[in-house]
Amino acid sequence: KTDMAPQPIGPYSAGIKTDCFVFTAGQIAIDPQTGEVVSDGIAAETRQVLNNIRNILEAAGSSLDLVVKTTVFLRDMADFSAMNPVYAEFFTHNPPARSTVQVCALPKGVAVEIEAIAVIKD
């Protein structure tokens, strides 16, 4: 749990830490300072989501550099070409394995949700 990421909007944890891994819940583009959804398009949403994931991972003793797998949920696969370059800004070296799927709806009407699995630092 960290104040640098949005508080869960349901009965779940933002992330769970095991001996070796951190598993994040799916994160949407909620600004942790305001509690409001960032609604300036898919690029801004993706950036907020990945910043939220970074903060959860760092609070658990990991980092984006240690992410091994992500799953990206898009409300519209047509947004892939605008989401992907922002995603690439956060994973510049040895990017993790990734699945990207289109879903019919996401919480709070957002366009993207991402979950991650990362290794814990030694």
Residue given tokens 């898009």 in the structure block: 74
The torsion angles phi and psi of 56, rounded to 5 degrees, stand at: -65, -45
- pLDDT tens-place string over residues 65-120: 999 999 999 999 999 999 999 999 999 999 999 999 999 999 999 999 999 999 99
Polymer length in residues for the chain: 122
pTM above 0.75, yes or no: yes
Q: Which residues pair with 99 in a beta bridge?
A: 71
Q: What is the mean pLDDT of residues 44-55?
A: 97
pLDDT of 8 strictly over 80: no
Q: What is the mean pLDDT of residues 12-36?
A: 91
